[in-house]
Amino acid sequence: MPYPTDRERDRPWVMRTYAGHSSAAASNELYRRNLAKGQTGLSVAFDLPTQTGYDADHKLAKGEVGKVGVPVAHIGDMRRLFDGIPLAEANTSMTINAPAMWLLALYVTVAKEQAQAEGRDVDEVLAKLTGTTQNDIIKEYLSRGTYIFPPGPSLRLITDMIAWTVHHVPKWNPINICSYHLQEAGATPTQEVAYALCTAIAVLDAVRDSGQVEEADMARVVARISFFVNAGVRFVEEMSKMRAFTALWDEITRDRYGVTDAKARRLRYGVQVNSLGLTEAQPENNVQRIVLEMLAVSLSRGSRARAIQLPAWNEALGLPRPWDQQWALRMQQVLAYETDLLEYEDIFDGSRVIESKVDEIRAGAREEIDRVLEMGGAVSAVESGYMKSQLVSSLAEYRRGMEGGERILVGVNKFETTEPSPLQAEGAKAIETIDPAVEKQAVAALEEWREQRDNDAVTAALDNLRAVAGTTTNLFEATLACASAGVTTGEWSHALRDVFGEYRAPTGVSAASASGAGAAELERVRERVRRTEEELGERLRILVGKPGLDGHSNGAEQVAVRARDVGFEVVYQGIRLTPEQIVAAAVQEGVHVVGLSVLSGSHLEVVPEVVDGLRAAGAEDIPVIVGGIIPPDDAALLTERGIARVFTPKDYELTGIMDGIVSLVRETKGLTD
């Protein structure tokens, strides 16, 4: 995106809508409609099996196919996804991390096919491809949870991809270092800036040290590094954060990597405003939250986002409809085209208030960056659990402020009286729902694909991929060969699992602190736990489980921390567990209650399996509770299936939830208050 001189009107940022669901064909139709409405870039949401390297027929994919994004299993799906959309003219963002190399290989292969079909020079078309692959695996270990491989091999995949794109797809951003999910996991503005820049340093050091890029080309590498940030509703703080971020990035790339071209050192970032900050209670308030958060990353010209995608007002309720996404797009268009925002120089230059806040964030971020670098860098700070425990503690502090009323959420913990919302008059139909048949259709299509392709070519491509993975040779060409041969997403990732292994990141729960505000209520619940333990003659134990592929672990971690703080013995093994694993752990540990967390929409499929599994194991007396983004109709169905309690985002008082869990255990055990 060109930056004009101060005498010119600034160009509008790239306007995107994060979209995709059900199938490649359905998502292609959605993309075309969005482009026709004036959207200037595409933002592809992939479903959880695709994000974590599984095919639709894998056990862990059950209930997850097509829910939070589009399933892409092979080159045929990628062709359908971009049918009728010339990739040489598109600006595409793909939110994909662990399998980013694979999805970019599919995208590049389709671009090559489009060029050949039109009789155009392939290299010329590849040189025009613009967009980004998120490809930030560090924050996946800390927040979102869609990692596959250990940190070392993951960093190797990122390095190989950056080196290949710099030479072959020079306008593509091969990594979008993503502080977005760090904020959702609890990061303060200072931590968000610091940990994102620590990730950038780890990536740039790896590329520089790999020998795949000449020292003279490091400026080209730096110029293609982009960031994806979060913007919360604390307007002044968020805008100051971005000014501090911009200054620190310029400083690091100049001093650490010797980049003398000021244009190459510019912080290039896109943004989605804080989705997890949207509320289920009085969701119409989310409209003004979204607009205010957008202003934080657009008003300051010197640190303005160059791409923006906004959530819809009802994302705390479920999957938005096309109309809801259109509303979010129109918010951007009104700001860019109706106001005079883009006509002026930076309106905050010279502000003492802003400069003071920027200096505060900048100094704090520098201090935290130095601390992480002293530990050996971002990878070491992930493996030791340091960064994760810092985020869990920060989120616990945020929640204490909210529960104690120090941090006000309008309609949630203050001003709760409300009129019925006409926006929700349709009830559960006010959100998009995914036909359960989507998963069966995806599995059937996958079987048909495997029958029709050249399986000898697939075997040869996968054997070559494994062989190259065992060397230091760049993996991208071997991945391109897999894409052309018809290899599936699951086959590509499982071949690399064979070589690299898998990984389970530290949860950060054991080191997190949860004492403080609300001590009187906390002590009252602790006393109930102690009394119940005395009556039962044993410790109270709760298993907190994350079934399926949903990696949003923030809620589960906070529940685990608060449960531990009121006196429960907590069993928490992290994300991505099968119902069978959860049942086995519950029986083996002799827990008194199982708490499940699901935010991906797969609750109707995976939660009842845990109840059925406990019954089959003779442990039907262990009650199961569930929390997540669960519509009222679904909550009723879960209750019918034997779920003892259902909690949604409106149930934000964790100590009160703990009190209810103690009551549930006492009721189950026949104890009276």
Q: DSSP 3-state assignment of 131?
A: strand
- Distance between CA atoms of residues 603 and 626, nearest Å: 8
> What is the arrangement of strands in the sheet containing 569-572, beginning at the earlier edge strand?
569-572, 541-545, 593-598, 624-628, 645-647
Q: Which residues are annotated as catalytic? A: 18, 180-181, 546, 550, 552
Distance CA 138, CA 369 (A): 15
Sequence-ordered strand ranges (E) for 89-244: 91-95, 130-133, 172-173, 175-178, 225-231
Three-point CA angle 139, 650, 17, nearest 5°: 50
Partners of 271 in the beta sheet?
229, 308
**Residue 3 half-sphere exposure toward CB, CA atoms < 13 A:** 15
Q: How far apart are CA 86 and CA 129, in angstroms?
A: 10
Q: Which two tokens stand for residue 74?
A: 């092979």
Name 537's Cβ contacts closer than 8 Å, sequence gap at least 6.
Answer: none
Type and span of the H or E element at 397: helix 386-403
The one-letter code for the residue type at 277 is: G
Q: How far apart are CA 300 and CA 297, in angstroms?
A: 7
Q: Which residues of 299-327 are buried (b: 16+ CB within 10 A; e: fewer)?
A: bbbbbbbbbbbbbbbbbbbbbbbbebbbb
Tokens 């190399």 belong to 101
**Of the candidates 206, 207, 182, which has an alpha carbon nearest to the alpha carbon of residue 194?**
182
Where does 417-541 have alpha helices with state H? 437-452, 455-469, 476-485, 489-500, 519-536
Classify residue 497 by burial, with Cβ atoms within 10 Å: 0-12, 13-18, 19+: middle
d(CA 392, CA 328): 30
Type and span of the H or E element at 358? helix 352-374
